[in-house]
């Protein structure tokens, strides 16, 4: 998927490598010592209907190329192609495909842990091949694990609630998550022939993928199909749940925009996708014009298929036995405040410029924020108080403490803090940790630091693999990483030097969260008095 070496031996014969799944035989490729199967159809589904098992076939199907990804309603977000290299693939609403990387096939005597990666992009975009970091070959080799990634239905295809229009659409507002559940069933039934252990499956994801991990914990249909979870930058204040009344309100307006009725609703299954997407846009424009809140796409809280985000709706007792790793990245999206910040080399700012930005961001609270930041991060450049993330970090702290209070299995907290060399030093951004836990850090130019990246990816991938094997991320070569409690959060800081910080940002987090000027607007508004009532403090 991305270049590793100029020359690599690839084997793909008519009869090798072949595995036999419940539905039929598949042929993949052997790349040096890794077996790779791409584009495996794990489910089938009619539009807006629940997925079901694939139809069996005769002969051997190729699993050599990635399968199509889900259709998206708009042009993909213009990510920085250097910081987070992206790869786009053909789209189709029949997108239930997965990929497998493993070190052995047809080996019934050895069962390896299975690590299922769920992509980000919220619930509207993204795919299993979108980021170069998602390639599972290195992770599979390093940890001797079976890595699986998948595509599933998104946006209107996965989360438009048509339940008001008939029993057949009862779960249409959650079929995107039902696809993931069906993939887990496929793993349960088939992963053994790929060398995987169906009784040791870890679900993991970042951003929207991390939220999907937390949502699976709240879905009875997924119970027993996974055994551990890793949530990366996937905890925000109240999750991304959609109340069912809002979901139905959107669907009703879309149906109206399309000129359909309850009697003609079946036609929505054959209307071209782009026309429904336009109707969704028109529906939200109608809401805006009439003073109603717009509605996005995400799992619908129907209290049947999906019970709602755990910290808000209560954690299901059936999944409290699932151990978790939960964390975020130091900078997340906080590097994108305005053009002047983006153009500048923060580590070269003089005292006047640093104080100027600090005041524009925090106003009269700048001194308080600076003192709290020094306390929380004594070895970090003080200018990074401008880039410290509060969104995902706040959500992570709430999630780990409330889950611990519920009497759950161990929950481990982390923060990815490694400053990247881009622009003379940049706080790590949203997605920056993925290459490190996939053991792919050496292939991403913007964040690669010779010597440092190799050691850190060994430590971080090692922790993820150890957790997948045992439910405990501790392994030789890293400090002891204790689980969280209701009152204490020992945060593993993945940086040049690994460190466990106990409750380190308890004072800092609320200060920054409550007093930071709005993104892209700080400097446009001033606070009433000078910093601390006296001279500005230099950074």
Sheet holding 29-31, edge to edge: 10-11, 29-31, 34-41, 97-102, 146-150, 112-118, 196-206, 228-232, 324-329, 411-416, 490-494, 499-502
**Alpha-carbon distance 240 to 410, whole Å?**
24
Other residues' Cβ atoms within 10 Å of the Cβ of residue 68: 18
Contact 69, 151 (CB under 8 A): yes
Known active-site residue 128: no
Length of the chain: 539
Other residues' Cβ atoms within 10 Å of the Cβ of residue 23: 18
Q: Of 172, 207, 251, 404, which is the active-site residue?
A: 207
Contact 432, 80 (CB under 8 A): no
Query: 3-state DSSP call for residue 126?
Result: coil
**Alpha-carbon distance 27 to 18, whole Å?**
5
Helix axes 391-405, 508-515, angle to 10 degrees: 130
Q: What share of the chain is helix, strand, coil (3-state, %, to 5)?
A: 35, 15, 45
Q: What is the CA radius of gyration of the chain?
A: 24
Question: Which residues belong to the active site?
Answer: 207
């Amino acid at each position: 998927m991305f270049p590793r070496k100029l020359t690599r031996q690839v084997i793909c014969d008519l009869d090798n490598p072949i595995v036999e799944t419940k539905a039929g035989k598949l042929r993949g490729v052997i790349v040096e010592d890794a077996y790779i199967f791409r584009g495996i159809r794990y489910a089938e589904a009619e539009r807006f209907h629940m997925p079901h098992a694939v139809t069996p076939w005769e002969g051997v199907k190729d699993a050599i190329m990635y399968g199509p990804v889900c259709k998206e309603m708009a042009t993909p977000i213009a990510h920085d192609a250097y910081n987070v290299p992206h790869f786009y693939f053909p789209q189709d609403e029949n997108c239930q495909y997965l990929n497998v990387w493993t070190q052995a096939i047809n080996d019934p005597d050895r069962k390896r842990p299975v690590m299922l990666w769920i992509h980000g992009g919220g619930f509207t975009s993204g795919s299993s091949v979108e980021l170069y970091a998602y390639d599972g070959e290195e992770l599979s080799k390093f940890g001797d694990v079976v890595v699986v990634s998948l595509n599933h239905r998104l946006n209107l295809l996965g989360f438009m609630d048509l339940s008001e229009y008939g029993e057949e659409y009862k779960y249409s507002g959650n079929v995107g998550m039902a696809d993931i559940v069906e993939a887990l069933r496929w793993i349960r039934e088939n992963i053994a022939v790929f060398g995987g252990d169906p009784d040791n499956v870890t679900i993991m994801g970042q951003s929207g993928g991390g939220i999907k991990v937390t949502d699976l914990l709240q879905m009875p249909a997924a119970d027993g199909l996974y055994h551990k979870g890793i949530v990366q930058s996937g905890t925000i204040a109240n999750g991304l749940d959609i109340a069912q009344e809002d979901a139905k309100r959107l669907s009703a307006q879309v149906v109206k925009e399309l000129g359909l009725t309850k009697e003609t609703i079946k036609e929505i299954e054959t209307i071209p996708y782009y026309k429904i997407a336009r109707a969704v846009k028109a529906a939200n424009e109608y809401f805006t014009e009439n003073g109603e809140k717009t509605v996005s796409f995400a799992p619908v809280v129907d209290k049947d298929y999906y019970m709602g985000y755990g910290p808000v709706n209560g954690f299901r007792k059936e999944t409290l036995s699932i151990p978790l790793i939960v964390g975020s990245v130091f900078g997340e999206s906080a590097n994108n405040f305005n053009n002047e910040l983006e153009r500048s080399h923060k580590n070269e700012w003089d005292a006047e410029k640093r104080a100027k930005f600090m005041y524009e961001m925090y106003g009269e609270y700048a001194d308080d924020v600076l003192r709290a930041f020094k306390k929380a991060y004594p070895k970090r450049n003080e200018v990074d108080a401008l880039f410290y993330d509060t969104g995902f970090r706040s959500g992570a702290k709430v999630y780990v403490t409330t889950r611990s209070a519920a009497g759950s299995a161990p929950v481990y907290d982390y923060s990815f803090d490694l400053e990247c060399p881009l622009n003379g030093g940049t706080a790590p951004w949203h997605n920056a940790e993925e290459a490190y836990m996939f053991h792919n850090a050496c292939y991403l130019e913007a964040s690669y630091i010779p010597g440092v990246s190799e050691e850190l990816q060994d430590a971080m991938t090692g922790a993820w693999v150890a957790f997948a094997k045992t439910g405990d991320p501790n392994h030789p070569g890293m400090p002891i990483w204790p689980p969280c409690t209701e009152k204490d959060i020992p945060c593993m800081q993945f940086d040049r030097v690994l460190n466990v910080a106990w409750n380190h940002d308890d004072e800092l987090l609320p200060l920054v969260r409550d007093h930071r000027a709005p993104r892209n607007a700080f400097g446009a508004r001033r606070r009433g008095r000078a910093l601390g009532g006296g001279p500005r403090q230099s950074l």
